A and B are shown apart, each in its own frame.
Chain A
């Protein structure tokens, strides 16, 4: 077989007919790449979501969408879910059936979720701080590695919470929090979150605040001074927007802490029996739900797989159509080149050389498209974790 001649003539033909060649290669590449890429990304998402869900036994939340609760508590992506009093979580803890970690995941600092929780969360997720330490007082926070890296934040720097709306005069004031530590990368949504204690998030919400002693504020900032010594201040009193060692004692909460809101609570039963008791306790509750995240993920992915199957079948249909059109383009192209092949035969080209020429062109298009699809898939596989992390946290 005259491979050198075939290579020369074939490559020159493909180069001269570049638009047709590029179009065919692009179409074939998509035929190979799309189904594989979808399967890869879904698998990546599934692995990421499932591993997180599998590591969390139960989650307590307000009755409603179990999936939204899962995403709020585990992936910090659904902030607008209903809250419930922290006392409900305390009750479970008091029952001795489980360890309970409350989560208040509602506010943000820029693009990053502020997660109010207790120190137990840090042990539960086995955080390692490099550098720094866990927060030890209100107003301190630890940040995920991605937050630190993308924003160039170091220990000792500050992050400021964002108001919920631009003109939010009612209560959610920006709070400046000092970074006490940076969490070593975990490959989980924790890398993109800011963790502080519950009290700090309640201060952001306006449930707690700090200001000058009422006796010390100017007269024009006082509404009234009762005979029993209670001084009522008006809204012009300057509240502290940063908790420092100097002003920390002035921070206080109005109301019972148990009534303050949380969005979820991670519940880690002490055993299978305790888990069964707890599940039974909330099975018929209209106000609360106690969900198993792994089961929610099973349900979610059952739906995703159904959709994926439909999409894959559609893509296979489109792929077969594309391949058929490609084959037709080859056939038509060779019909148009009938005279050329006849003349090459007359000049002395062997049937093998002519067959090789046709095979080379087809093989080049198919081979290039497979190579491109492989490269594309490798790139997608490399960036998929980043993309998935960006999308699902």
Chain B
């Protein structure tokens, strides 16, 4: 499902550079990306999401080589095929919980909600255990609940790929477990491929595969 090859990336004016020879993630599998801070986990995730473009190499999601697409097309591709779950929730504080979940539909196409979108949002909220907060604003709910909302937003369009950037980083162990369970159960249900960054060893065993980014880089001869 995800295929990265001969990736080279560096930030302008920064000594950091990322080199990865190969990374393959099979369709429907769940992969945990681990590694020390600053090793390039988030950069790799952004490359896979098409948010950043490598200087060299190839990032393929399904049949699409993201490196050959324009920024607008990458954004469109992301919108249609990838669900993003950021670490800091990134909820819009002027929208209610249920409206936040539907944002990917609002910013795509003609902004019209597809049929069944609202009931799917309600269903996700129900399964995330926050249905009673549907009409509340983000500042009226707890951190753990906000992360669940962000998770629901990443899942709302039943994406083929879910990329989660340490979604449990700010949560207590109980909430961490709940979030990962929700993510993996829903991904299994809709057949999505999951790549999630985590620092929690306890969560690693819940994934099909654990990839240490530092070792990936070493493998590339860095």
Pick the residue among A4, A9, A16, A353 that contacts B93 (CB under 8 A).
Answer: A16
Stretch at the interface among A71-79, A297-305, A322-330, A338-346: A338-346
Which residue of chain B has the shortest Cβ distance to A13 in the bound complex?
A: B94
- Chain B 46-73, CB within 8 Å of chain A: the 1/0 string? 0001010000000000000000000010
A5 contacts partner chain B, Cβ-Cβ < 8 Å: yes
B92 contacts partner chain A, Cβ-Cβ < 8 Å: yes
| Residues of chain B with a CB closer than 8 A to A347's CB | 78-79, 84, 103-104, 107
Instruction: Establish whether residues B75 and A350, one from each chain, have CB atoms under 8 Å apart when the complex forms.
Output: yes
A254 contacts partner chain B, Cβ-Cβ < 8 Å: no
A4 to B49, alpha carbons, bound, how many Å? Answer: 26
- Chain B 69-94, CB within 8 Å of chain A: the 1/0 string? 00010011011100010100010111
| Residues of chain A with a CB closer than 8 A to B112's CB | 4
- Which of chain A's residues 1-35 have a Cβ closer than 8 Å to chain B? 2-9, 12-13, 15-17
Pick the residue among B49, B75, B79, B86 that contacts A343 (CB under 8 A).
Answer: B86
Instruction: Establish whether residues A6 and B75, one from each chain, have CB atoms under 8 Å apart when the complex forms.
Output: no
- Which of chain A's residues 108-155 have a Cβ closer than 8 Å to chain B? none
Chain A contributes a number of interface residues (CB within 8 A of B) equal to 25
Do A348 and B78 contact each other (CB < 8 Å), given the known contacts A2-B107, A8-B111?
yes
Which residue of chain A has the shortest Cβ distance to B103 in the bound complex?
A: A347
A interface: dominant SS: helix
Instruction: Establish whether residues B108 and A9, one from each chain, have CB atoms under 8 Å apart when the complex forms.
Output: no
Instruction: Establish whether residues B76 and A348, one from each chain, have CB atoms under 8 Å apart when the complex forms.
Output: yes
A3 to B106, alpha carbons, bound, how many Å? Answer: 10
Among the interface residues A16, A348, A349, which one has the most CB atoms of the partner chain B within 10 A? A348
B95 contacts partner chain A, Cβ-Cβ < 8 Å: yes
| Residues of chain A with a CB closer than 8 A to B80's CB | 348
Nearest CB on A from B152, distance (A): 14
| Residues of chain B with a CB closer than 8 A to A3's CB | 110-111
Instruction: Establish whether residues A4 and B110, one from each chain, have CB atoms under 8 Å apart when the complex forms.
Output: yes
| Residues of chain B with a CB closer than 8 A to A353's CB | 107
Pick the residue among A4, A16, A343 that contacts B111 (CB under 8 A).
Answer: A4
Instruction: Establish whether residues A12 and B99, one from each chain, have CB atoms under 8 Å apart when the complex forms.
Output: yes
- Chain B 93-136, CB within 8 Å of chain A: the 1/0 string? 11100010001101111111000000000000000000000000
- Which of chain A's residues 322-369 have a Cβ closer than 8 Å to chain B? 339-340, 343-351, 353
Chain B contributes a number of interface residues (CB within 8 A of A) equal to 26
| Residues of chain B with a CB closer than 8 A to A15's CB | 94
B207 contacts partner chain A, Cβ-Cβ < 8 Å: no
Nearest CB on A from B103, distance (A): 7
Instruction: Establish whether residues A12 and B95, one from each chain, have CB atoms under 8 Å apart when the complex forms.
Output: yes
| Residues of chain A with a CB closer than 8 A to B75's CB | 345, 348-350
A350 to B78, alpha carbons, bound, how many Å? Answer: 11
Instruction: Establish whether residues B104 and A348, one from each chain, have CB atoms under 8 Å apart when the complex forms.
Output: yes
Among the interface residues A8, A344, A347, which one has the most CB atoms of the partner chain B within 10 A? A347
A152 to B99, alpha carbons, bound, how many Å? Answer: 60
| Residues of chain B with a CB closer than 8 A to A4's CB | 106, 110-112
A346 to B90, alpha carbons, bound, how many Å? Answer: 11
Pick the residue among B86, B109, B137 that contacts A16 (CB under 8 A).
Answer: B137
- Chain B 140-173, CB within 8 Å of chain A: the 1/0 string? 0000000000000000000000000000000000
Which residue of chain B has the shortest Cβ distance to A349 in the bound complex?
A: B107
| Residues of chain A with a CB closer than 8 A to B111's CB | 2-8
Which residue of chain A has the shortest Cβ distance to B109 in the bound complex?
A: A2
Among the interface residues B109, B111, B137, which one has the most CB atoms of the partner chain A within 10 A? B111
| Residues of chain A with a CB closer than 8 A to B79's CB | 347-348
Instruction: Establish whether residues A344 and B107, one from each chain, have CB atoms under 8 Å apart when the complex forms.
Output: yes
Instruction: Establish whether residues A340 and B92, one from each chain, have CB atoms under 8 Å apart when the complex forms.
Output: yes
| Residues of chain B with a CB closer than 8 A to A16's CB | 93-95, 137
Nearest CB on B from A355, distance (A): 13
A182 to B103, alpha carbons, bound, how many Å? Answer: 69
Instruction: Establish whether residues B108 and A2, one from each chain, have CB atoms under 8 Å apart when the complex forms.
Output: yes
Instruction: Establish whether residues A12 and B90, one from each chain, have CB atoms under 8 Å apart when the complex forms.
Output: no
Among the interface residues B92, B94, B103, which one has the most CB atoms of the partner chain A within 10 A? B94
A340 to B99, alpha carbons, bound, how many Å? Answer: 15
Instruction: Establish whether residues B110 and A12, one from each chain, have CB atoms under 8 Å apart when the complex forms.
Output: no
Instruction: Establish whether residues B51 and A346, one from each chain, have CB atoms under 8 Å apart when the complex forms.
Output: yes
Nearest CB on A from B140, distance (A): 12
Which residue of chain B has the shortest Cβ distance to A357 in the bound complex?
A: B107
A154 to B109, alpha carbons, bound, how many Å? Answer: 71
Instruction: Establish whether residues B106 and A343, one from each chain, have CB atoms under 8 Å apart when the complex forms.
Output: no
Instruction: Establish whether residues A346 and B108, one from each chain, have CB atoms under 8 Å apart when the complex forms.
Output: no
A353 to B107, alpha carbons, bound, how many Å? Answer: 7
Which residue of chain A has the shortest Cβ distance to B90 in the bound complex?
A: A343
11 contacts between A and B (CB under 8 A): A2-B106, A2-B108, A4-B110, A5-B108, A9-B95, A9-B103, A9-B107, A13-B92, A16-B137, A343-B90, A348-B79
Residue ranges of B at the interface with A (Cβ–Cβ < 8 Å): 49, 51, 72, 75-76, 78-80, 84, 86, 90, 92-95, 99, 103-104, 106-112, 137
Residue ranges of A at the interface with B (Cβ–Cβ < 8 Å): 2-9, 12-13, 15-17, 339-340, 343-351, 353
Name the 9 nearest CB pairs between A and B, nearest first: A5-B111, A348-B79, A4-B111, A16-B94, A349-B107, A343-B90, A5-B106, A2-B111, A348-B78
